[in-house]
Homo-oligomer: A and B are copies of this chain.
Amino acid sequence: MIWNTNLRWRLPVACLLLEVALIALFGVFVRYDMDADHWVQEKVIKNLSTDLENEFYYRYPSFQDVHVMIFVGFGFLMTFLQRYGYSSVGFNFLLAAFGIQWALLMQGWLQSFDGRYILVDLENLINADFCVGSVCVAFGAVLGKVSPVQLLIMTLFQVTLFSINEYILLNLLEVKDSGGSMTIHAFGAYFGLTVAWILYRPNLHHSKERQSSTYHSDLFAMIGTLFLWMYWPSFNSAISNHGDAQHRAVINTYCSLAACVLTSVALSSALHRKGKLDMVHIQNATLAGGVGLGTVAELMVLPFGSLIIGFVCGIVSTLGFVYLTPFLESRLHIQDTCGVHNLHGIPGIIGGIAGAVTASIANIDLYGEEGLAYAFGIERSKLNWSPNTQGRFQAAGLFVSLAMALAGGVIVGVILRLPFWGQAPDENCFEDAVYWEIPKEPKSTALRSEDSSIKPPEP
């Protein structure tokens, strides 16, 4: 196989063609939804009494937080590799910028189509960010082993599949999944892992040295970790029902994440022969509590229920990094660069199960009669609804997500194996210099405080 990593025509052509197609489709299909449109007439019809009731003011702070998570959070989380920082941040930037546009169309056709136009408002932007979040997760599994052209192709397909899967779960099965444990995290992780499995590189040990971190690259990664951790309450509440549901989702996520930090630290130390902490666990496992709480975020799990979910996720995730990732690589031939299986895969499944259980035991004592109907969006006409059915649909949703991820991952993986996407040979994986112009290091890396080349100032 001749490895040609020169992207001079492939990448520009891919980007420009995709963008031109997006512009054409936006021109035909996308218009502003009422809250963002100028038509005063329609506002009167909807009887919006004040500007404050514009959806914008309910969602804008959460939207910006989610936006930070996608671009800085995921982007910097992956800079831990010593020579792959440009690609981590830069390719994540590229795929997310493309993905949100395509997601506005795909999710729009399936969920915001009025027969003629896709009507977008802030909630569509949040949903597009969410959809791209699942691509960022999958990117973590294949990080360092694929070219930007492959990433654009993967994004194109994954956004499409995500939107269909989301439509099945939210509109057909009518499951609750406000923070996306199933639709975003489990789907993204298993999709990415399947792609990584198809793209298995038996000689990846040739670039083993570059798969570790350096002191400063781990600090850059902590920027990503912390912005993900801090803004996760916004992630899990961004598209919740207004008022108490949004409020509750924040409290629950806050609690779960806090508990998760303590168990991640505990396990990280306990599993090291000298009791030392491992940055990989602190960067990743501490976030598992946010993933695990995604499905139940706005439900009545109570603060201590959230703590328990975070407690379990921190333990399971750290154990996964220590025992499962090596096993996946050596036995199942799944090379999971960032360990997304431990951060998004298993915690996503835990979240889905927690959702099924929580829905099954929902009752009027906990929610109130009106509250129960409102929480699960039950219409008067659906008389045969019961917590039990809801629980079973929740479980079904989890299985559908996993099935879609595995099937989709196989198809996309096979497409990405085609030899002309500019992928790097095994010995050049995890290396920015393949796709980036890299600055020469200065002759002397040390900055001297008394530099002889600096003219002394006059006294």
Q: Does A431 contact B (CB under 8 A)?
A: yes
Instruction: Tell me whether A30 is interfacial, beta carbon within 8 Å.
Output: yes
Tell me how far the C-beta of A27 lies from the nearest C-beta in chain B, rounded to whole angstroms: 4
Which A residues, 100 to 146, have Cβ-Cβ distances below 8 Å to chain B?
Answer: 100-101, 104, 120-122, 125
B72 touches A227 (CB 8 A): yes
Specify which chain B residues have a CB less than 8 angstroms from the CB of A446 in the assembled complex: 441, 445
Q: Which chain A residues in 245-296 approach chain B with CB under 8 Å?
A: 246-248, 250-251, 254-255, 257-259, 261-263, 265-267, 269-270, 272-279, 282, 286
- Nearest-neighbour CB distance to chain B for A116, whole angstroms, equals 14
Contact status A97-B251, CB under 8 Å? no
Whether B23 pairs with A308 at a CB distance below 8 angstroms is yes
List B contacts of A428 (CB < 8 A).
Answer: 453-455
A213 within 8 A of B: yes
- Whether the Cβ atoms of A35 and B282 lie closer than 8 Å is no
Q: Is A379 in contact with chain B by the CB < 8 A criterion?
A: no
Known: A71-B230, A428-B455, A441-B446. A250 touches B125 (CB 8 A): yes
Residues 8-36 of A, flagged 1 when their CB comes within 8 A of B and 0 if not, give: 11111111101100110011001110011
Identify the closest chain B residue to A459 (Cβ). B6
Q: Contacting A251 at CB < 8 Å: which of B68, B122, B442?
A: B122
Answer yes or no: A355 CB below 8 A from chain B CBs. Answer: no
Q: How far is the CA of A295 from the CA of B174 in the complex (A)?
A: 42
Interface presence of A307 (CB below 8 A): yes
What is the bound-complex CA distance between A39 and B278, given in angstroms?
A: 44
- Contact A60/B250 with A266-B12, A275-B8, A453-B427 known, Cβ cut-off 8 Å: yes
Nearest chain-B residue to A99 (Cβ)? B258
A203 interface hit (Cβ, 8 Å): no
Do B223 and A6 touch across chains, with their CB atoms under 8 A apart? no
Give the nearest-CB partner of A36 in chain B: B247
Separation of A72 and B262 alpha carbons in the complex (Å): 18
A216 to chain B, nearest CB (A): 6
A418 within 8 A of B: no
Inter-chain contact A100/B258, CB cutoff 8 Å: yes
CB neighbours (8 Å) of A101 from chain B are 255, 258-259, 307
Chain B residues in 8 Å Cβ range of A216:
216
Chain A 295-329 near chain B by CB (<8 Å), digits 1 or 0: 00000101110011001000000000000000000
Are B431 and A454 in contact (CB-based, < 8 A)?
yes
* Cα(A79)–Cα(B220), bound, Å: 12
Please tell me if the beta carbons of B269 and A12 are within 8 angstroms of each other in the complex.
yes
Selected contact of A265 from candidates B53, B94, B223, CB within 8 Å: B94
- Is B226 a contact partner of A72 (Cβ separation < 8 A)? yes
The answer to whether B275 touches A368 (Cβ under 8 A) is no
Q: How far does the Cβ of A300 sit from chain B's closest Cβ, in whole Å?
A: 6
Q: Which residues of B contact A222 (CB under 8 A)?
A: 75, 89-90
B15 and A263 contact, CB distance less than 8 A: yes
CB contacts (< 8 Å) of A60 on chain B: these are 61-62, 250
Query: Complex: how many Å from CA A220 to CA B219?
Result: 8
The CA of A107 and the CA of B372, in the complex, are separated in Å by: 31
B368 touches A39 (CB 8 A): yes
Q: Which residues of B contact A437 (CB under 8 A)?
A: 272, 276-279, 449
Asked whether any CB of chain B lies closer than 8 Å to the CB of A385, the reply is no
Tell me, yes or no, whether A200 is within 8 Å of chain B by CB.
no
Contacts of A61 in B (CB 8 A): 60-61, 64
Are B433 and A441 closer than 8 Å at their CB atoms?
no
In the complex, what residues of B have CB within 8 A of residue A261's CB? 93-94, 97-98
Would you give the shortest CB distance from A291 to chain B, in whole angstroms?
A: 16
Q: How far is the CB of A28 from chain B (nearest CB, A)?
A: 8
A223 touches B223 (CB 8 A): yes
User: Once the chains are docked, how many angstroms separate the CA of A329 from the CA of B375?
Assistant: 59
Q: Does A201 contact B (CB under 8 A)?
A: no
Closest to A66 in B: B230
Counting from the closest, the 3 A-B pairs by CB-CB distance are A8-B275, A38-B371, A51-B243
